[in-house]
Amino acid sequence: MESVANQRIARVSAHLQPPNSQMEESCVLKRTDCRAKGGAPGFKVAILGAAGGIGQPLAMLMKMNPLVSVLHLYDVVNAPGVTADISHMDTGAVVRGFLGQPQLESALTGMDLVIIPAGVPRKPGMTRDDLFKINAGIVRTLCEGVAKCCPNAIVNLISNPVNSTVPIAAEVFKKAGTYDPKRLLGVTMLDVVRANTFVAEVLGLDPREVDVPVVGGHAGVTILPLLSQAKPPSSFTPEETEYLTKRIQDGGTEVVQAKAGAGSATLSMAYAAVKFADACLRGLRGDAGVVECAFIASEVTELPFFATKVRLGRRGAEEVYQLGPLNEYERVGLQKAKKELAESIQKGISFIRK
Ligand SMILES: NC(=O)c1ccc[n+]([C@@H]2O[C@H](COP(=O)([O-])OP(=O)(O)OC[C@H]3O[C@@H](n4cnc5c(N)ncnc54)[C@H](O)[C@@H]3O)[C@@H](O)[C@H]2O)c1
Ligand SMILES: O=C(O)C[C@H](O)C(=O)O
């Protein structure tokens, strides 16, 4: 008979050999329950693309989040290494790694929140739309897994081009009969984070005191900061408005150029992703008044998807807010944003319906 000590050793090293079969999975769930015992109850979160530039710091920050009890790290490469590393952090969440397509279903089963930063990033000279060819297929496969294994999970989709990948995910879920528009959220939080930072610089404020809604989508002119609705209420000269709007719209390109071929924003994105995921988890917990911007199915404009402020609750984005009053500069920006967005959304829909 195995000694108690051996059983304990087997239990704590379980993360090094992720499960394959259903039987092994049920053992894993038992071990997970066991490890989580005594810890605060929390949510089960999966990160798909966890070994990447965003995935790794995102995994680290989610391991530090007290609302997370179980953290599943999935990637097609290096998931065991990242998992072993992160699992040594003395925080509450139980971490398990899953490597490659055969383990996708185990990674997703039972999850409350699935965060997807899987896919290729830009290099200088590329647009986000240039990533469509590779990332569309990746997002389709991963969302098929979500539809099968955790159809009620909230999905935070980071993979670019977000303006097309969110419509792709929606079509996959519709096909599977699991689509709930409230649960599918394109992550545009980095645009808000940038807007808060750049506006704070101009106003000479602490960025933590600033809140700028950013609406539309997540690429170039589709990124529309509503400076007229910034908090604290502030006025900007036409030059400041032009500078800030352009800088927020080009924030991603600024990082891509500075990294000079080594990828796009990863650290600020992981920060923004965790800020957004934490808001989703607080909503799931039932906290009142959790409001963030996200790219979501919407009736705010004539387009089927649009980023605006949403109220996050137990069922996901329970309320989608209207745009509010826009000034003339923002009204012109909105027309430009809608034109480009319409094409990107249609491209995503056609990819699945073709
Ligand atoms: N929404 C945003 O604001 C925002 C911000 C920054 C980056 N992004 C996007 O996020 C994506 C990832 O960026 P990154 O810098 O982390 O890239 P990266 O190349 O460093 O990491 C991507 C990871 O995805 C993994 N991957 C590839 N195919 C996969 C699959 N089928 N299943 C699971 N994992 C898979 C890779 O192995 C890699 O580890 C890019 O598309 C990028 O454009 C979005
Ligand atoms: O710009 C990119 O390609 C990555 C991301 O969308 C960003 O805004 O930083």
Residue 30: CB partners within 8 Å, gap ≥ 6? none
Whether the Cβ atoms of residue 164 and residue 347 lie closer than 8 Å to each other = yes
269 assigned binding-site residue: yes
What is the phi-psi region of residue 286: left when phi exceeds 0, alpha when psi lies from -120 to 50, beta otherwise?
left
Q: What pLDDT shows up at residue 327?
A: 98
128 lines ligand 2 (CB under 6 A): yes
ipTM exceeding 0.85, yes/no = yes
Residue nearest to atom 6 of ligand 2 (CA): 252
Per-residue pLDDT reduced to its tens digit, 69-116: 999 999 999 999 999 999 999 999 999 999 999 999 999 999 999 999
> Taking residues 289-313, what's their average pLDDT?
98
Q: What pLDDT shows up at residue 1?
A: 43
Is pLDDT above 50 for 285?
A: yes
> Taking residues 270-283, what's their average pLDDT?
98
265 lines ligand 2 (CB under 6 A): yes
Q: Closest Cα partner for 309 from 235, 217, 213, 201?
A: 213
Ligand nearest to the CA of 223: 2
**Count of alpha carbons within 13 Å of 34, Cβ hemisphere only?**
12
Mark out the alpha helices in the chain (DSSP H runs). 4-12, 22-36, 55-63, 79-87, 104-108, 132-149, 162-176, 189-203, 238-249, 251-259, 267-285, 328-353
Portions of the chain given CATH number 3.40.50.720? 39-187
252 lines ligand 2 (CB under 6 A): yes
Portions of the chain given CATH number 3.90.110.10? 188-353
What fold is seen in the domain 39-187? Rossmann fold (3.40.50)
Is pLDDT above 90 for 344?
A: yes
* Closest atom of ligand 2 relative to the 131 alpha carbon: 3
Q: What pLDDT shows up at residue 203?
A: 98
In the residue annotation, 218 being an active-site residue is answered as yes
Q: What pLDDT shows up at residue 19?
A: 43
- 30 pLDDT band (50/70/90 cuts)? very low
Fill in the amino acid letter for 192: V
Q: Which of 128, 191, 198 to mutate to test the pocket of ligand 2 (most atoms within 8 A of CB)?
A: 128
* Architecture, CATH, for domain 188-353: Alpha-Beta Complex (3.90)
Is pLDDT above 80 for 149?
A: yes
Whether the Cβ atoms of residue 219 and residue 127 lie closer than 8 Å to each other = yes
Ligand nearest to the CA of 275: 1
Is pLDDT above 90 for 187?
A: yes
